[in-house]
Amino acid sequence: MKEKVQVFGRFLSGMVMPNIGAFIAWGLITALFMKTGWLPNDKFALMIQPMSMMLLPLLIAYTGGSVVAGQRGGIIGAIATMGVIVGSDVPMFIGAMVVGPLSAWILKKFDKFMENKVKAGFEMLVNNFSIGIIGAILALLAMVGITPLISALNNVMAAGVGFFVDHSLLPLASVFIEPAKVLFLNNAINHGILSPLGIQQVEETGKSIFFLLEANPGPGLGILLAYCLVGKGTAKSSAPGAAIIHFFGGIHEIFFPYILMNPLLLVATIAGGASGIFIFNMLGVGLTAPASPGSIIALLMMAERHSYFGLILGVVVATVVSFVIALPILKFMGKDASLEEAQQEKDRMKRKSKGIAEPAAATAAVTGKVKKIAFACDAGMGSSAMGATVLKKKLAAAGLEGIEVIHTPVSSIPADVQVVVTHQDLGERAAHSNPNAKLVLITNFLAAPEYDILIQELAEINK
């Protein structure tokens, strides 16, 4: 079930993540040139509404359609999404997430039906007219059929959110957000759910607190600081570096393994997240666009004018609350990370002595010299990019040249990759994505002992 939820969440966030640059551009233009912005300018502000109403939904639809049916899917997804855009007076991000992939799926089915039925020389004609005719029909159907449904859904969601805001219950969102993040659903929550709500709110008020609900680095920073003080083993030694990467680099995935080592720490992150939201809500803090990655630098860049004090205070309060609660949990109920690693090694040696095979994912054979390694994470942009950098440095230090190291989404690992490094919670998805690659499953992105073991194996294979 967790894997299915992750896959669905990855699909939602996968339509938004590649377009984050466009969201940032829109957010900067909004923050600078709207009436309450840093440099109010009526002429430049004319771009704000067309970008949110048309450009961003079309980019989402094209990306979603491309995932389903390549470039043709992206084109028909954008065509059909024009129907929900024109048929509504609010930004249709959810509509784009529905219509884009759905239209591409319909075109894909049509292409499969027509396979081997088109006479030679008529391929281009059929391809172009099929997109044109089916796209036009789907755009009309979306305008009259899907738009009312999406609008009704938006109204229900807005009413639900309004209830939480009006009754000061928004901090309770942390009860759902923080545990879901640890299951690697952070991108799905932020970009699949909160961002569409936030952008719609920006259209109305010029800022939105929804961009801060998941992106606040405070709860994770509090956990890592607690590990720095009272952690044990490799968890303590790696926590300072993880804290810097998390807070300034915005890679929240780096603190998830520290939570998984002691799930009671979820209490600390929930309390920290709720306290931060309470401060943001009380002081009217909001961002003008999604902050991705969730770095303090990105938050400050996307901050609404005159809200720096409230923003920084909310992050600090979330950090302190998370730290104070995590401290006794780690001190009196913490586990020795080194002892856990030793236990894993002991179990491995015990299995070997009894002739019991290791799990297939950990022992897949590599044929020939290794030329390509992939570090995979949920979105392929955060922890995987950091992990790829670490691996490259270790390969260079070991004198292993000619090995390409890439970072990629766990759901689309290239077929020519021979070794895949990923978090153990993503192992099943990685094995399904590229069943022929050797899997190296880790829990600590910065100081995983598996890195050094892999380097030793590569030195033997590639000598």
The answer to whether the CB of 252 falls within 8 A of the CB of 272 is no
Is the pLDDT score of 338 beyond 50? no
Would residue 10 count as lying in a domain? no
pTM metric for this prediction: 0.67
Number of domains forming the structure of the chain: 3
361 band by pLDDT with thresholds 50, 70 and 90: very low
| Mean pLDDT computed over every residue of the chain | 83
Would residue 39 count as lying in a domain? no
Question: Does 154 lie in the same domain as 180?
Answer: no
Question: Does 328 lie in the same domain as 362?
Answer: no
Question: Does 319 lie in the same domain as 197?
Answer: yes
Question: Does 267 lie in the same domain as 231?
Answer: yes
**Cβ count within 10 A of residue 184:** 24
Q: How far apart are CA 365 and CA 2, in angstroms?
A: 28
Convert the pLDDT of each residue in 118-139 to its tens digit: 887 788 888 899 999 999 999 9
Question: Does 324 lie in the same domain as 227?
Answer: yes
Convert the pLDDT of each residue in 407-434 to its tens digit: 888 878 888 899 999 888 788 888 888 8
Would residue 408 count as lying in a domain? yes
Question: Does 134 lie in the same domain as 250?
Answer: no
Write down the pLDDT at residue 399: 86
Is the pLDDT score of 26 beyond 60? yes
Would residue 409 count as lying in a domain? yes
Question: Does 179 lie in the same domain as 150?
Answer: no
Would residue 419 count as lying in a domain? yes
Question: Does 205 lie in the same domain as 161?
Answer: no
Convert the pLDDT of each residue in 182-223 to its tens digit: 776 766 677 667 877 788 788 778 888 988 988 899 999 999
Write down the pLDDT at residue 313: 96
List active site positions: 377
Question: Does 108 lie in the same domain as 71?
Answer: yes
Could you list the residue range(s) of the whole structural domain that residue 369 is in? 357-461
Contacts of 28 (CB under 8 A, 6+ apart): 288, 289, 301, 302
- Residue finishing a domain among 136, 167, 198: 167
Question: Does 401 lie in the same domain as 385?
Answer: yes
Would residue 38 count as lying in a domain? no
Is the pLDDT score of 274 beyond 90? yes
Question: Does 318 lie in the same domain as 274?
Answer: yes
Q: Which residues of 57-67 are buried (b: 16+ CB within 10 A; e: fewer)?
A: bbbbbbbbbbb
Question: Does 236 lie in the same domain as 294?
Answer: yes
